[in-house]
Amino acid sequence: MNRRNLLLGAGALAVAGGAGVAGWRASVGSVADYDRYSDRLRAAMPPDPAMADLIRYATLAANGHNTQPWRFRIKGETIDILPDLSRRTPVVDPDDHHLFVSLGCAAENLRIAATATGRPGALSIDDAGARYVFDRGSARTDPLFAAIPARRCSRTLYDGRPVPNSDLETLRRATDTPGVRLVLLTDRPRIDQARDLVVAGNEAQMTDPAFMAELKRWLRFNPGDAMRTGDGLYSAASGSPILPAGLGGIAFDRFFAAAAENEKYARQIDSSSGLAVFLAERADPAHWMTVGRACQRFMLAATALDLRCAFVNQPVEVAGLRPALADLAGEAGLRPDLVLRFGRGPVLPFAPRRPVAAVIV
Ligand SMILES: Cc1cc2nc3c(=O)[nH]c(=O)nc-3n(C[C@H](O)[C@H](O)[C@H](O)COP(=O)(O)O)c2cc1C
């Protein structure tokens, strides 16, 4: 019996044990309600959008553990994007690297959305955060704009077929950012070596009780909890079953084992067409935000090409594995920032987001 069947079995037992179907529904919420909530978050931008609409698009960016560690401050024609340090993940991200990358992802979404809807401007970045200053020019279309509400991480198996060189070139061009190096690994020997680093990193993380405790705090086992908090890692968005929170916690403690997860990551990478490794030329918050901007552009360009991506960041999160990954990418001496796998495959439900009002200060 695999872990999924065990979990489903546990769920069936709980129902039979007295909770009943109605009790089960009440404790997990409704998938249909979640779909409507998710559609509202990703509703198309009106033609003359308010600041709140632009910020909504910014918050659809990728971000570590979906903590959404950002605050937006509107002052006249300026939006500041600032870190929310109450949403740090100190175990997996002790130096706030992922936190600043996440701010960069949001800043790039904001810039693309503003430019495409008639509010071009200038985005500046320093070690404290990002600032977008509007000037009212005319809208400039950008193929990445339509991809903002469609982008998501797809933690699924891909079909393993090579991505055509023309698409790889499109991804490179979209990502091209001063200060950031993008290395595409598309040959099997190097993908295999990267896979082994991901598995080694996963093993290290899953045998670290502090890592597991932090991860568990951000898991949302059902649509009800995902909508209530508007943040965190919604189980269905990772292909895991929906469970009441209490049962989900027990299942996580008992059945979420390194060996099975290692095998899952290995299969997922084997099914991928390639890996994208991002490396900034310097390691400081401003450069991490710049990496976030580049990575968000990569994911949007992939979405526009109907390609899927998902992060496999274990060898950047486990510091001891970074030099081997940098060597593999041909960039010895740099700190690797992010690893994405990409290819073609199915999607899973979208991740939740908090309402815009919760992130404006
Ligand atoms: C800096 C950073 C690090 C991330 N690391 C991982 C990771 O190691 N594994 C993973 O599955 N997702 C990772 N993610 C993806 C987030 O979990 C994801 O963006 C978030 O849950 C929101 O989901 P969405 O991107 O589908 O909207 C990372 C994202 C960022 C920006």
Ligand 1 atom 23, closest CA: 351
Compute the distance from residue 161 Cα to the ligand 1 centre, in Å: 24
Q: What is the pLDDT of residue 13?
A: 52
Q: Which atom of ligand 1 is nearest to the CA of 60?
A: 27
Q: What is the pLDDT of residue 47?
A: 82
Q: Which CA distances in Å does 310 have to 246, 271, 272, 332?
A: 28, 12, 10, 24
d(CA 180, CA 337): 10
- CA torsion 324-327-331-334 (nearest 10°) is 30
Ligand 1 atom 13, closest CA: 311
Q: Which atom of ligand 1 is nearest to the CA of 314?
A: 8
Ligand 1 atom 11, closest CA: 311
Compute the distance from residue 46 Cα to the ligand 1 centre, in Å: 28
Domains observed in the chain:
39-149+354-358 (3.40.109.30)
Walk along the chain (361 residues) and give the pLDDT tens digit of each residue: 344 444 444 555 554 455 588 888 889 999 999 999 999 999 999 988 999 999 999 999 999 999 999 999 999 999 999 999 999 999 999 999 999 999 999 999 999 999 999 899 999 999 999 999 998 778 788 999 999 999 999 999 999 999 999 999 999 999 999 999 999 999 999 999 999 999 999 999 999 999 999 999 999 999 999 999 999 999 999 999 999 999 999 999 999 999 999 999 999 999 999 999 999 999 999 999 999 999 999 999 999 999 999 999 999 999 999 999 999 999 999 999 999 999 999 999 999 999 999 999 9
Instruction: Decide the pairing of beta strands 233-234 and 219-220.
Output: parallel
Compute the distance from residue 333 Cα to the ligand 1 centre, in Å: 25
Q: In the block, which residue shows the tokens 């809208």?
A: 139
Q: What is the pLDDT of residue 137?
A: 76
Sign of CA dihedral 208, 214, 217, 219: negative
Q: What is the pLDDT of residue 222?
A: 98
